[in-house]
Amino acid sequence: MAVPLMDIAAEYRSIKDEIDEALLEFLGSGKYVLGPYVERFEEEFAEYLGVAYCVGVSSGTDALLISLRVLGVGEGDEVITTPFTFVASADVIVRLGARPVFVDVEPDTLNINADAVKGAVANETAAILPVHLYGMPCDLARLGEIAAETGVSIVEDAAQAAGSKYAGRLVGTFGKVGCFSFFPTKNLGAYGDGGIIATDSAELAEEARALRVHGAKRKNYPGVIGYKARLDAMQAAVLSVKLKYLNRWVSRKRELVNAYRERLAGVAGVTLPAEPEGREPAYHQFTVRAERRDELKESLQYRDIGCAVYYPIPVHLTEAFGFLGYRPGDFPEAEKAAAEVVSLPLFSQMTDGQLDTVCSAVEEFYVG
């Protein structure tokens, strides 16, 4: 039996009638840009998170870019972030003329090491950008203390973590600003690109709303040079339907991860992801460390079992970021993780039988 890494079309099929109806209603409305669909979804997502404001934007990347910009990040500034992430977390910093300052990750959560963050804070530090990788919440208590001690704002990259909780509270609500992506494969996925900025600050929300439409608070009166980065109204119509299912889908994925844990606990060669006390990840990926990782990957692929490496090269060692002057060995934990991680199939419609197929293949690879 073939098992895909993810099956987002299966998710669509599970709510097809409702989605189709919402899309047909949208098409008949004529309200295709911003307007009622975007406003409704912004309100719903703000209520879901428990924040005062949400600003829908065109992607998670633009959510990060605009968030940093409203916090005043620019030329000569530094932003502290993790090298073990999707490139978007760091490239937005460079696009604003600021410098990403990487610090290493914790070996158990693969998230930014808060003590290292503390050590990296300097006069130039304009923001701290932690990433809840694979949906695993960062050490938000410690990061919050550092932000309070230093006065530096936190922008949470919660692109992979819609529905994840830290100490019982949804992530993306701890920093000055939280950024989410609705890329189709994310926990809450649209049928195209989308993203959102969450904040309790009326002022930051207003600035972000202007930046997504050419920097204009009033139409045709641009106050600053902005972007064209609105959440698409059709995606908002889809997201309003899908948000109702997010908690259910997160629970199902957590159930599947528990089943993985039971099955793979005894397999030498596989190290399961930690789930520290107080953190309740909405697993975007189920990512293990694997001995002979590349061979395992080939063996799974040979059996038509989807798997993928996120991310094979830590950002500081990519060609694009070469100009920063980092060298192999600078962040040993991130580099070790990049060499060892592999994500196994996980999606809300995955069946117990599919999970069994994956586990048997992994067992067979290591145990024979």
Residue 350, helix vs strand vs coil: coil
The length of the chain in residues reads 368
C-alpha atoms less than 13 angstroms from C-alpha of 288 in its C-beta half-sphere:
24
Binding status of residue 157 toward ligand PLP by CB under 6 A: yes
Cα distances from 89 to residues 62, 143, 176, 368, in angstroms, run: 10, 17, 16, 40
Q: Based on CB atoms, which residue is closest to ligand PLP, 191 or 365?
A: 191
Binding status of residue 160 toward ligand PLP by CB under 6 A: yes
Binding status of residue 131 toward ligand PLP by CB under 6 A: yes
CB of 134 to ligand PLP, least distance (A): 9
Binding status of residue 334 toward ligand PLP by CB under 6 A: no
Cα 22 to Cα 16: distance, rounded to the nearest angstrom: 10
Q: Based on CB atoms, which residue is closest to ligand PLP, 82 or 357?
A: 82
Asked whether the beta carbons of 331 and 105 are under 8 A apart, the reply is yes
CB of 60 to ligand PLP, least distance (A): 2
Q: Based on CB atoms, which residue is closest to ligand PLP, 85 or 113?
A: 85
The site map against ligand PLP for 163-202 (x = CB under 6 A) is: ------------------x-x---------x-x-------
Asked whether the beta carbons of 228 and 216 are under 8 A apart, the reply is no
Binding status of residue 26 toward ligand PLP by CB under 6 A: no
Give the containing element (helix H, strand E) for 288.
strand 286-290
Q: Which of 260, 280, 231 is nearest to 347 (CA)?
A: 260
Size of the site for ligand PLP (CB under 6 A): 15
Among 42, 48, 54, 59, binds ligand PLP (CB under 6 A): 59
- Considering only the stretches 18-26, 36-44, 80-88, 167-175, report the one whose residues sit in contact with ligand PLP under the rule CB under 6 A: 80-88
Among 45, 86, 174, 260, binds ligand PLP (CB under 6 A): 86
Contacts of 306 (CB under 8 A, 6+ apart): 3, 4, 5, 6, 300, 345
Contacts of 351 (CB under 8 A, 6+ apart): none
Q: Based on CB atoms, which residue is closest to ligand PLP, 311 or 365?
A: 311
Beta bridge partners, 127, equal 79, 153
Q: Based on CB atoms, which residue is closest to ligand PLP, 59 or 125?
A: 59
Token representation of residue 261: 């844990």
Q: What value, to the nearest 5°, has the Cα angle with vertex 188 and ends 117 and 208?
A: 60
CB of 227 to ligand PLP, least distance (A): 13
Q: Based on CB atoms, which residue is closest to ligand PLP, 61 or 354?
A: 61
Q: What value, to the nearest 5°, has the Cα angle with vertex 49 and ends 146 and 101?
A: 35
Beta bridge partners, 199, equal 53, 177
Q: Based on CB atoms, which residue is closest to ligand PLP, 85 or 125?
A: 85
* Window 88 to 117, contacts with ligand PLP (CB under 6 A): 88-89
Contacts of 232 (CB under 8 A, 6+ apart): 58, 190, 192, 193, 194
Q: Based on CB atoms, which residue is closest to ligand PLP, 11 or 157?
A: 157
Binding status of residue 60 toward ligand PLP by CB under 6 A: yes
State the residues that interact with ligand PLP by CB under 6 A.
59-61, 85-86, 88-89, 131, 157, 159-160, 181, 183, 193, 195
